[in-house]
């Protein structure tokens, strides 16, 4: 269950409990207890309404199709990457790690594999994944992105699937990009 759904469900459940306790106080106890009971019942009613309103906000969310799967810079770099041995390799953008890496363990949790990498080079015939490529702009300097990048690097290293990164400046040097990509693919 998503965290937001759990919070809404929790608010509604707490509201029902407060409502019940409030009614019990109001019916069975003295005047002071009745006031406490009424206050608890009102609080319970508010929490039930809050849960219902939040649930309505979730169900009325607006979903909009994106204009493009990639940014303008990613699109330009994708065209550069596709020039590298186009008869041998296909380059796919926005690849989820779970599409190219399996997790073999006792548990079924694979959340860490739902991170997205910018590109994957695959064999044009078998579609076997050969190389992952990331375009690291300035957002990769943020602490949260550094953590994410470290985790992706660790997963790729363990899976023996090479990962190379390029800065926006490096993407302009086709010879460097081609040499780096081919040397990583051919190492395997």
pLDDT in tens, the chain (188 residues): 455 555 555 666 666 666 666 666 556 666 666 666 666 667 767 776 677 666 666 667 888 999 999 999 999 999 999 999 999 999 999 999 999 999 888 776 778 899 999 999 999 999 999 999 999 877 777 888 889 899 999 999 999 999 999 999 999 999 999 999 999 999 86
C-alpha 115/C-alpha 126 separation (Å) is: 23
pLDDT given for residue 1 in this prediction: 46
Nearby residues of 81 by Cβ (< 8 Å), 6 or more positions away: 91, 119, 121, 133, 177, 181
Helices 174-187 and 72-82, axial angle in degrees (round to 10): 60
pTM above 0.85, yes or no: no
Helices of type H across the chain: 3-28, 31-59, 72-82, 97-100, 143-159, 174-187
C-alpha 105/C-alpha 109 separation (Å) is: 9
pLDDT given for residue 72 in this prediction: 92
C-alpha 178/C-alpha 188 separation (Å) is: 16
C-alpha 19/C-alpha 61 separation (Å) is: 29
């Amino acid at each position: 269950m998503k965290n937001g759904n759990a919070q809404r469900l929790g608010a509604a459940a707490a509201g029902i409990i407060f409502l019940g306790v409030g009614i019990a106080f109001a019916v069975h106890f003295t005047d002071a207890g009745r006031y406490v009971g009424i206050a608890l019942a009102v609080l319970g009613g508010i929490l039930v309404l809050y849960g219902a309103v939040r649930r309505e906000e979730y169900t009325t969310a607006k979903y909009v199709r994106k204009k493009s799967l990639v940014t303008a810079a990613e699109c330009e770099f994708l065209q550069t990457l596709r020039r590298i041995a186009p008869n041998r390799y296909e380059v796919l953008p926005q690849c989820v790690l779970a599409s190219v890496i399996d997790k073999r363990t006792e548990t079924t949790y694979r959340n860490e594999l739902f991170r997205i990498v910018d590109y994957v080079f695959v064999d044009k015939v078998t579609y076997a994944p050969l190389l992952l490529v990331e375009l690291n702009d300035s957002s990769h300097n943020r602490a949260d992105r550094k953590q994410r990048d470290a985790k992706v690097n660790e997963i790729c290293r363990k899976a023996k699937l090479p990962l190379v990164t390029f800065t926006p400046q490096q993407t302009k040097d086709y010879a460097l990009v081609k040499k780096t990509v081919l040397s990583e693919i051919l190492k395997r």
